[in-house]
Structure 1
Amino acid sequence: MVDHDPVREVTRADVAALAAGCAVFGTGGGGPVHIERLATEAALDEHGPVRLISVAGLTDDDAAIVLSGVGSPSVGVEMLGAKGQPATVVREVERLIGRPVTAVMPAEIGGSNGVSAVRWAAELGLTVLDADGMGRAFPEATMIAMNVAGLVSEFCVLADMIGNVAVLRTVDLAWLERQARAMIVASGSVTLGAHYVMTSRNAPGAVIEGTVGRALRVGRALLAADDPVAALCTALGAGLLITGKVVDVERTATDGFTRGAMTVDGVGTDRGRRLRVELQNENLVALDEGEVVASVPDLIAVVDTETGTAISTEMLRFGQRVSVLAWPCDPLWRTPRGLELAGPAAFGYHLPYVPLAGTGR
């Protein structure tokens, strides 16, 4: 459901719900939200509320830059961004396009990037576009709605923590992924990047609309609930795959990605069952005794059974009591082009994509 109110505000009081919702849509990736929640609350305390504008509310004078922290979430837990990084990126973008940037759009609503967009906008005096490029989190540059829609990214700006700035003009996003990833690894596996300039002309139909507002609604439902897991299932249109205990975690950081798997043994009514979730920054495939029960591009989230709080892949630990949820992706990802870019085969899994039932919206 897309909220078509043309202009709203995100206040300090909204940040807790936004962070909770973004963590769920991170599907294990996108970076942990707790640090960004604190930083965003501080930014709104200093600069005041941020205007949230819908795609329909864009004017001919608007230019929304797609901004995101990129790299390994495991590294991002320990390596914080530098003050002034967003301004460095935006100044370079404005130099390239010859016009002011008026809004920030998160590349992904999932994880820290969905929350960070509000902080960056507050610090820069910009608005936030109520949309993103994924409707979740994905690990690679090619896996973005604008690429599915056939829009060309004319450049990418990268700025690291010590002030290095790079501008890449690649022939396509696959080459951007290769070249940017090498630079990101050289910068310590975490940096800030911008690509795509969204306007009133090219944004409709090429972005996933209303996702900032949706993250807020899901977060509010979670924080207000007596039964958080049930509330999430209702708010997301999700199914509960298993409730149990984490009995094994395999995780390494290589080539700028967090890769591995985790295994959950069922408890209660799920006793005797075992679920394995494959990871690459995000939760990619859920297997129940070897049978695929959910896979990308549909969404899989691991949450704390008592609180409903989403657990990112870098925070998974032996012994945690968790519930694993899955719900359908945005219809854009179920198109042939969407599955080509972000279906199981795009991650090296040789298995057919079987869509989850329900709307997931």
Structure 2
Amino acid sequence: MSYTLDRGDLADLARGAALLGTGGGGDPYIGRLLVDQALRHGPGTITVLDPDDLRDDDFVIPTAQMGAPTVMVEKIPRGDEAVAALRALEDHLGRRADATMPIECGGINSMIPLLVAARTGLPVVDADGMGRAFPELQMETFSVYGVPGSPLAVGGENGETVIIDTGADNRRMEWLARGIAVRLGGVAHIAEYAMSGADVRRTAVPRTLGLGLRIGRALRAARENHRDPVEALADTMAGTLYDKVRVLFRGKVVDVERRTEAGFARGHATIAAFDGPRTLELTFQNEHLVARAGGEVRCVVPDLICVLEADTGEPITTEGLRYGQRAVVVGISTPDLMRSPEALGVFGPRAFGLDMEFQPVEDLVPL
């Protein structure tokens, strides 16, 4: 069912998107402020379309921000870059979009399509191509199931636009777009994976914006009612495509090694247990990729690895990890279409250079 969003929904959606971003996807707080300002001076509400409400021949162009999350903390968008990318792609293709959509439901990229919608009047489709956040543009269910990312339009903060067309080669599209983003200061805005309504229903992870909103509300209510946030999260996820929730570790952040290189934030974080010498090590490339305790894998990409503040349940991004934070680390199962052999070939462990096979979090951490 389609619905509308207003300014009052943005804080909860940003919180839920930060969790679904698995530590990455860019800071949703910045995106929330951009959308809030656009709604304040614009239409006041945004229409969110259920995928089932799309016509087969509707033309949908996803919009997003790309770059290193560490850069986004200091390099705030001007606000019109994503619209410029959308218009550049529409002009190149000779057709106007009927709707926009997230490429990922986590982090700031849950907000960029809402910003485009608030500025253009377009509706936003309640679906995305990652079901979480991933660092590279070919890591999309759209790509896995046959939708080309090209042509892609890149928009910069000084009005620059670039069209990239690599045909069906989505990996090369990512490589070229990443180089442009680096030269634009580490962050750029994009429009890509233009597709029909029928393709959206066939290739996208459905209703993830709505899920993010429910997660954010549940975590807020848990804090207000002094309830365990992980218990509230598990209750929210029950009956969804993400129905396996496991506590991987509880402890204090004792070390963070983080660097920005080649347009990504890469590094490791170590969390020490509250009650003994045990530690958990997280490895990330924008998003958390693998969690190991005692040398054993506890959760691995594409399943979600989420770090929450232990007391409040607020999600902590990889660029926000700091020494001394009290944290609970949670693993969440991804939808089945993200666990197929074709999908794991694009965004499974080996796609990130990890020498391991994917194992579901519910097998690694049984109840």
**Contact 2:13–2:216 at 8 Å: present in 1 too?**
yes
**Contact 2:254–2:324 at 8 Å: present in 1 too?**
yes
**Contact 2:246–2:362 at 8 Å: present in 1 too?**
no
- C-alpha displacement at 1:61, in angstroms? 5.8
**Contact 2:25–2:286 at 8 Å: present in 1 too?**
yes
Moved more, 274-283 or 201-210: 201-210
The root-mean-square deviation of aligned C-alpha atoms, in Å, is 1.4
Partner of 1:92: 88
Partner of 2:16: 21
**Contact 1:229–1:305 at 8 Å: present in 2 too?**
no
Q: Distance in 2 between matches of 1:153 and 1:72?
A: 20
Partner of 1:119: 115
Secondary structure, aligned partner of 1:232: helix
Closer, same or farther: CA 353–60 of 1 in aligned 2, 3 Å? closer
Q: Distance in 2 between matches of 1:45 and 1:107?
A: 25
- C-alpha displacement at 1:150, in angstroms? 1.5
Partner residue of 1:135 out of 131, 135, 155: 131
**Contact 2:149–2:173 at 8 Å: present in 1 too?**
no
Partner of 1:30: 25
Partner of 2:249: 242
Moved more, 313-322 or 193-202: 193-202
Moved more, 292-301 or 144-153: 144-153
Q: Distance in 2 between matches of 1:53 and 1:255?
A: 36
Secondary structure, aligned partner of 1:196: coil
Partner residue of 1:348 out of 328, 345, 353: 353
- The total of aligned residue pairs comes to 351
Q: Which stretches in structure 1 are left out of the alignment for 5+ residues?
A: none
Q: Would you say 1:294 and 2:299 are equivalent positions?
A: yes
Q: Distance in 2 between matches of 1:85 and 1:115?
A: 13
Q: Would you say 1:259 and 2:255 are equivalent positions?
A: no
Q: Distance in 1 between matches of 2:56 and 2:341?
A: 32
Q: Distance in 2 between matches of 1:194 and 1:28?
A: 23
Q: Distance in 2 between matches of 1:84 and 1:119?
A: 9
**Contact 1:233–1:240 at 8 Å: present in 2 too?**
no
User: Counterpart amino acid of 1:110?
Assistant: G
Partner of 2:214: 217
Q: Distance in 1 between matches of 2:334 and 2:59?
A: 27
- C-alpha displacement at 1:60, in angstroms? 5.0
Partner of 1:65: 61
**Contact 1:248–1:263 at 8 Å: present in 2 too?**
yes
Partner residue of 2:170 out of 166, 169, 173: 173
Q: Which stretches in structure 2 are left out of the alignment for 5+ residues?
A: 238-243
Q: Would you say 1:186 and 2:180 are equivalent positions?
A: no
Equivalent residues in 2 for 1:318-333, closer than 5 Å: 318-333=323-338
Percent of matched pairs sharing the same residue: 39
- C-alpha displacement at 1:97, in angstroms? 2.2
Q: Distance in 1 between matches of 2:4 and 2:212?
A: 14
Q: Would you say 1:273 and 2:281 are equivalent positions?
A: no
Q: Distance in 1 between matches of 2:286 and 2:148?
A: 25
Partner of 1:74: 70
Poorly superposed stretches of 4+, deviation over 3 Å: none
- C-alpha displacement at 1:116, in angstroms? 2.4
